[in-house]
Amino acid sequence: MNHGTRPLVLAVDDSPEVLQFIDSVLGDDYRLRLATSGRRALQLARQRPVPDCILLDVVMPHLDGFYVCKQLHNDYASRNIPIIIVTASDDLVAESRGFACGCRDFIKKPISAPILRARVNAQIELKRAREELEDYSHQLELDVAKRTNEIRLLQDTLVVAMGHLAELRDNETGLHIQRTRYFVQAIGRQLMRQSGFRERISDALVDMMFSTAGLHDIGKVGIPDAVLQKPGPLTDAEFEIMKRHTALGLEAIEVAERTLNADASLMPVLTVAKQIIYSHHERWNGLGYPQGLAGEDIPLPARIMAVADIYDALTNERVYKEAIPHQEALGMIAELAGNHLQAEIVDAFLSIAPAVKQIAERFREPRLPVAVP
């Protein structure tokens, strides 16, 4: 509705006298289109600009008012135009039929000029209010979506930054974070296609795993440099110290929750983050750490993270080891199915091997400098 011009009313009646009366009553306040048949009414109702209200006679030759009303109501372009049916009948069945066809109000013949003005004005004001509410609702949705995207971007930025800080102490680059989060996302999406996981994995869960996977080793910031940066195998005592990074990472998130008074039940992303951080070193056979969880007791996001983390560790060079080729790493992952890793997740991972390789190549590590004796 153009609020800068007079509202447009389409009046439909096979009687020229009735149309002349309507014009005399409404002509000073409204623009009018006049039609003497149902067929012409359908044409005029769809012309731009569309009417703001339609006055529709019931008894007309060829196409009656009920048929025209139903056609207009079923047409997306005209369904929101309020229709007032004008009838000489007091039949309640006819009124019920009219409302079922989509009309908003009835006016009885002979038409009363004050009632005509009041009913038309009421329907046009209601239409204007609905349009304003829809505009406001649409703008609110846009504002909420914009704010949500800003929050998600900030969240992702902080996750990547925190994970990168942890990796800087571990002689790694932020590319490990990028690779593993995209591996996790790809595995999650593949599992959504597999029976047994469709009901347990949603787009929302995959998004949360993608957002938080970069925090999986955040607890390494609390591990001493002598252990974290040791260029070789760890002793048993050193490995016990290294294993503490899962608990330290969990504690970091829990401290943040308490400090910010955040309710994890209202922020499931925090639950997913804690599951990945604390449990991604658990093993399917119960021989992992820190809790020795086994099978389905290991949170699903952590089981998925474990596959991504192991593959990335195998295929990337470190100061104490060479990178293992993609195909060989796939074979090693396959051998871990059913003991270290859940077999179904391994199957999903192997089924997307080409996509995994593309991710690995997209975020390839720069080659480490060769040590000079």
pLDDT in tens, 191-208: 999 988 988 999 999 999
Q: Which fold has domain 8-138?
A: Rossmann fold (3.40.50)
Tell me the range of 96-100, 106-110, 128-132, 330-334 where mean pLDDT is highest: 330-334
Q: Is 330 helix (H, G, I), strand (E, B) or coil?
A: helix
pLDDT at 158 over 90: no
Q: Which pLDDT value is given to residue 357?
A: 96
Q: Do domains 8-138 and 169-362 have the same CATH topology?
A: no
Tell me if 338 sits within 8 A of 315, measured CB to CB.
Answer: no
Q: Which pLDDT value is given to residue 278?
A: 97
Q: Which pLDDT value is given to residue 265?
A: 64
Strands 8-12 and 83-87: unpaired
Spatial separation of the C-alpha atoms in residues 99 and 218, rounded to whole Å: 63
Q: Which pLDDT value is given to residue 309?
A: 96
What tens digit of pLDDT does each residue of 236-260 get?
Answer: 999 999 999 999 999 988 888 887 7
Per domain, the residue ranges of the chain are 8-138, 169-362
Spatial separation of the C-alpha atoms in residues 209 and 253, rounded to whole Å: 15
pLDDT at 364 over 80: yes
pLDDT at 160 over 70: no
Tokens of 364: 């390839």
Q: Which pLDDT value is given to residue 371?
A: 45
Q: Which pLDDT value is given to residue 369?
A: 52
pLDDT at 367 over 60: yes
Q: Which pLDDT value is given to residue 373?
A: 46
pLDDT at 289 over 70: yes
Spatial separation of the C-alpha atoms in residues 342 and 348, rounded to whole Å: 10
Tell me if 185 sits within 8 A of 203, measured CB to CB.
Answer: no
The conformation of residue 220, written as its DSSP 8-state character, comes to G
In the chain the beta strands, taken as DSSP E runs, fall at 8-12, 31-35, 53-57, 83-87, 105-108
Q: Which fold has domain 169-362?
A: Hypothetical protein af1432 (1.10.3210)
Tell me if 275 sits within 8 A of 306, measured CB to CB.
Answer: no
Q: What is the mean pLDDT of the chain?
A: 88
Q: How many CB atoms lie within 10 A of CB 229?
A: 12
Q: Which pLDDT value is given to residue 370?
A: 47
At 227, phi and psi to the nearest 5?
A: -90, -45
Q: Which pLDDT value is given to residue 256?
A: 80
The angle at the Cα of 85, spanning 84 to 90, to the nearest 5 degrees, equals: 130
Spatial separation of the C-alpha atoms in residues 360 and 207, rounded to whole Å: 20
Q: Provide the pLDDT confidence category of residue 372 given band limits of 50, 70 and 90.
A: very low
- The residue type found at 20 is Q
Strands 53-57 and 31-35: unpaired
pLDDT at 1 over 60: no
